[in-house]
Structure 1
Amino acid sequence: MSEPVWKHDTVLLQEAVEALNVQQAGVYVDGTYGRGGHSALILEKLGVGGRLVVIDKDPVAVSHARGLYQHDPRVFVWHGSFRDFPLALAEAGVNGKIQGLLLDLGVSSPQLDDAARGFSFMREGQLDMRMDMSSGESAAQWLARAGETEIADVLWRYGEERFSRQIAREIVRDRMQHRLETTLQLANLIAGVVRKREPGKHPATRSFQAIRIKVNQELDDVEECLHKSVGSLAPGGRLAVISFHSLEDRIVKHFLRDVSTPPRLPKGLPVMQETIQPPMKTLGKSVRPSAVEVEANARARSAIMRVGERT
């Protein structure tokens, strides 16, 4: 039996690659390969002397990239988290600074559409939610051992779920009677607890987001990667980050604000404030998908991209 072919529409494809300002001989990192839409367009702009380091936690995505680019000497494919991109660069033999780093955060369409991955509350599958199913703790395993307070905290902090305490209480009560193993088990449990429904949104949306973020340490990965980018980008090098929910975007926004703001100097120092240059600058305003793109791909509607440049 042949493997299913999952459809994936790359969000902000042209906008993100244009933001990187790809130079033919530059070195670029696609920290979230997915199904390679951004990588393919970057490679179209790279010359024979350019390099592209492709990273993904998902072994399926890594296999896709290795199969597609096994004969392209410009491409190095690395399995792991984008937070460790300096390790990937070292293994690729890149010793100097890079000209661009792209992060397209969130879950790819193939991951959402494959019920076996456990990301979707609309499809029956094992409650996994790991980007890398070969390591770490699955959502089912975490929910089986976490205390009520911990579960409630995660649902509130990462999903901003108003009924976090009630949902956590019901999960703990329910697991005393039988194992919580499938996506629809959890989705139906949450639907039975959430009394007020948001128009057009499944009652399990926020909780599934929160658990996914917890299981994959997504926000920790973003924060660490952003801070490492400052020391890795060459002058003029670009950082482009596409976020899909407010927690991610808030981290990116605050990071770019902090690294593009000159430090305040104590009074009396023999240095003029205007001579202190911050390590990065923010380029333009945030970018959102066009109405045409959202109409063609509803999953793009919450995307927002922010871009910074190394000074």
Structure 2
Amino acid sequence: MALRLLVVVAAVVVVAAASCRAGLADPAVSALPGLPVAGLAVGFYKESCPEVEDLVLAEMRAIVEKDRTLGPAMLRFMFHDCLVRGCDASIMLKSRSNKGEQDALPSYGLRGYEEIEQIKAKVEAACPLTVSCADIIALAARDAVYLSNGPRYAVETGRRDGKVSAKFDADSDLPPPSSNIVDLKTYFSVKGLGWKDLVVLSGSHTIGSAQCSTFASDRLYNFSGKGMQDPSLDKAYAASLREECEPGLKNDTTPVVMDPTSPYEFDLSYYRHVYRDTGLFLSDQALMHDRWTREYVERMAAAASPDEFFADYAVAMTNMGRLEVLTGDSGEIRETCAAYVD
């Protein structure tokens, strides 16, 4: 699989942990990490659409109250947008010839298309042709975290929407759940993201579920093609998973929560599960196979408070939100997010 080579620039950042606790800080004035990107700013729409963040939050609250599984789904949606061609809403573009990002294997089961369009319609009614779909995706992801009792961190806005969506990019750029630690660090590094972004953003798996087809073969029934269970997987946890996932069923869509302790609470239990060898994916457990990521998992697993994780999460999501963005006169602002590319 071809990977683009990028120069990785590391920046030392300091973010006050307390400022990222849910409800304790105004996201518009929270500290932001790293090197700024021209055209992005917290409060970008303060003159042109000052109510946009309130509109997105209100709509997200209604969406999650109707179906709480959509909160984690909307968070996942931002990952699929930003890690492929950058944060440009290209995941929303459709292809008549089935050659767009939506048609890629990693996009199977992705939810949130209709909800992003629903939010966009509310924003358009208030501020026509002003707010990009890319920014709405980023704001909705933040609010998905917040509505799961996670931090309401500051979100930079000012992105514009891309006009290209290619299946090949999604197939190439999104790490599969079977990735080992070397693969994971490579996928992230070619995007300019480091090991800490990897281990912190993996903490997103503290909410939501996955279909059996995404992990059962590797973890339960055919580890490394040997027709056996992954020996690193906790035996009691494996037994409970086998009750959910049928052997030999390739397209098993049965949902299994990624964090069985608190699947709809944005907390530290994900790291505790990984530490105890009860991470759902191979890519989760792979965090224990690198000194730096393992030390972070161990520290979070033992932490009495999520403050450090919440502060780190704000940094990592900001880093991801800056990937390959279109600003200024690049890209476009679409009236509706779903458009055909062919």
Q: By the TM > 0.5 criterion, same fold? A: no
Greater RCO between the two (CA within 8 Å, min separation 6)? 2
> Which structure would you say has the larger Rg?
1
**Would you tell me which structure has more strand in proportion to its own residues?**
1
